[in-house]
Structure 1
Amino acid sequence: MTIHWTRRQLLRLAGTATLTGALTGALRAEGIEIQTVLPAAQTPQLPFGLTRPVHVGEVCLRAKDVAGLKTYYTSMLGLEVLKDAPDAVTLGAGGTPLLHILARPDATPEAPGQAGLYHTAFLMPDRADLARWLVHVARNQFPLTGFADHSVSEAVYLTDPEGNGVEVYSDRPQETWLWAGNTVTMGSKELNIDDIFIKTKTRTDRDDYTAVPAALRIGHIHLRVGGLETARAFYADGFGLDVVAGSDQRGATFLSSGRYHHHIGANIWESRDAGPRQEAMTGLDWFSLHTNDQAILDARRTDLQAKGFAVSAIDGGFEALDPWGTRVRLVRV
């Protein structure tokens, strides 16, 4: 018997009967080493957000059950296993590393209200990839926590087995984004799932998401922080990112490079006045920003040091501690 996945069935995966309920969930969400090198002729065209002077590169998580998280991200998203050792796993797409998982079996689950990761946002190359992936997660019964149309993008939210937030999204064409000076319009409204399937001509009676798209990347990272002004002092004044959306009244700020809608989001919705993060807890360990401009790398190191932030050298760049103890790397690639 042929089974067609409807919008109602997708919503049921999100534990809600309406798109309004799903939107509410989205707002809550808001060893053996294998190297694969693609020939130059097959190098995928990256989405706009990954072509900016600075963009997100990789995310590293601490996990009590590294094998469990590896299974989740390889099954749910189809990420490739690039490194598989007992104490650390590296997953990626198109041979590019994106997600590192460190084994911390004795770690304490990250406590509510802590600064840290709100979600890692995986950017699909286009809307058709998002549609095929939606059918995949529906037919394989991966629980969803929300859907949202953010005007600049269409997003689906999940939570991994250790409580780390996940967003999977596709961008609308950047020429359709609405800018007022240096501020971009980003909203949160109901996601038209039917339109995604219809416009991309995606079949819902079978799972055609057989492999991760080679050009899938981490488009942005959203953080829980203790204070927005403090976050802007580090990520805008220190790392040189532009504040492009958000406000203290909304409890969130969004920053980017090169007029992307955002590479970093930061909110205080659950973490207002949070103190330093605890190394012994699960969750975010570090994330990296990438640039191909040595001048940017040098300037950002100088600015952060001048403002008194702790900076240390790593291969290809440097690492700095944000005000809550998360390691942030800037690497030339």
Structure 2
Amino acid sequence: MYMRCGDVESAWSVFRETLDKDVRTWSVMIAGLAINGLLGDALALFAEMKNTGVDPDSITMTAVLSACAHAGMVDEGKRFLDCMPVEYRVQPTIEHYGCVVDLLGRAGQLEEALALIKAVPFQADVVLWGALLVACRVHKNVDMGEMAAMEILKLDPQHAGACVFLSNVYADVGKWDLVQRARSSMKEHEIYKTPGSSIVELNGVVYEFLSGDRSHPQTDRIYAMLDEICKTLSLKGYKPLTKEVTFDVDEEDKEVCISQHSEKLALALRLISTTRGAVIRIVKNLRICEDCHSVMKIVSEVYDRVIVVRDRNRFHHFKNGSCSCLDYW
């Protein structure tokens, strides 16, 4: 529970006070450290677990491989996968292979990731192809991205993520005619993208924001705070990363669009409603974008705040202008 809330210190406290630790106790702690960006601690705890005589199970190894993926530890991750059946007597499952595909994809080793997908002793599922597709967008490999998306759509013709990623890959490289074709196909087949949203708690009440949301009672103050943030950050040399906007509009419209992302609105509400030094916690249903990530880093320094953002993949702990993910996510 504490790890899922990003409260690592409380999780450590409970873990250390637990006298009879079984494999589940160790596994959830290792997994929690991994998604909170404490990757060295996660692998050190895995070593400590083995030294105490507790044997890892399948879930433990998923946590370990996930830690390697988040840290970009390619050689270590591959070694863990190879030694699982022999050293730990755990047969790799499709989840383990998915972690390594993710690991290779994040590191830009797309051809090796594709080769692993083709070599797994199972039928590749949506998760495996999805990990490759995300990597293809990050590393702008349009051809492989198209192939991965088509494989996903063969398995799940209504998979919105594949269609959206395909559209975004085309947008990243300026192929607007193909973007329009992808979006028209989504409309034709009634495939809808999940809108990005962020939730934040204030005085026991949970508020949810969508991009450009104006439904909150304090909307005027929230947008005034956003303007203040933009002006303050511009003095620090910040420039909006408009490449995240996947619509063929002019630069000014892109800047307006990206300035009103849901996590920025949630951030503004917490800034106007809490005192300096209070921790800001935000939960995002999708992956945090690069621009919002940059803004959170600068705001944590300028406004002297610890900001904890949980996106769909992991936690980001922003403090003093840096993030626990070390800009690798």
TM over 0.5, shorter chain: no
Which structure's relative contact order is higher, taking Cα pairs within 8 Å and 6+ residues apart? 1
Highest Rg: 1 or 2?
Answer: 2
TM-score (norm 2): 0.28
Q: Which of the two has greater helix per residue? A: 2
Instruction: Decide which structure has greater strand share.
Output: 1
